[in-house]
Amino acid sequence: ESYSATKSWTLLTGDGTKTVYAKFKDVAGNWSSPISAAIILDTTAPMVAITSPQDGFISATQPVTVSGTIDDNTATVVVKVNGTTEVLAQVSSGTFRADNVPLVLGPNTIVAIATDPATNSSTSNSRTVTYQPTVILSIAITSPINNSSVNTPTINVSGTVTDSTATVTVNGISATLTNNSFTALNIPLTNGTNVITAKATKGTQTAQNAINVILDTVPPSINIYTPDANSTTRSNIVYGRVSDDT
């Protein structure tokens, strides 16, 4: 064949080491000694699989560690989260490990992508990991205010709770939740001081907050001592007594 600085060869089929030979002849008909080169043909993508965390895992913290198996220790493994964020993994002895893999709040789809030196690539099974931070449960009554007085036999109680999925009761009566706000209707009162307790429950966590509400249905009475009834006086001062000093 005519001389060319580059030459294409078709290798024999099948992965493995292929030896390519060449020799050259000058215009005088002299042949060079043969030269050879070993070429590794690799058309097989590495096999990669995530083994941890398990699919459906709920994590209270982030970032997380993702690990798994790889059948080619020369491959590069990248862990990808939600199709965008990539974290390079360490590969050793048939396994890979990626630390500090970030999560967003809620469900996250995680895959591992392995690429060998011949650029063959494969994608692992996907895992869904949900980031759900632990919320310290607390509850607060915002209405009515503590030690307030009312003259109705029932009241509505409202407030806030840190976990919108918690169960809330007020004096044993179920409250309705909208996001992180709760309202309990028609909480019964008795005359005098009533303890109003709001209680939140979520799993093993409980929290409560209590206030006092005073039911007072007796109107105040008043007596005038001076001046006497129907009397004539030059003073503009009136003395008397009221039954309720509030």
- pLDDT tens digit sequence for 55-105: 999 999 999 999 999 999 999 999 999 999 999 999 999 999 999 999 999
Is the per-residue pLDDT at 171 higher than 90? yes
Tell me the C-alpha distance between 104 and 219, whole Å: 59
pLDDT for res 242: 64
Is the per-residue pLDDT at 223 higher than 80? no
pLDDT for res 32: 87
Percent of all residues in the chain with a pLDDT value above 90, rounded to a whole number:
66
Is the per-residue pLDDT at 30 higher than 90? no
pLDDT band at 246 (very low <50, low <70, confident <90, very high): low
pLDDT for res 240: 65
Is the per-residue pLDDT at 153 higher than 90? yes
pLDDT band at 244 (very low <50, low <70, confident <90, very high): low
pLDDT for res 245: 64
Is the per-residue pLDDT at 219 higher than 90? no
pLDDT for res 89: 98
pLDDT for res 146: 97
Compute the average pLDDT of residues 201-217: 95
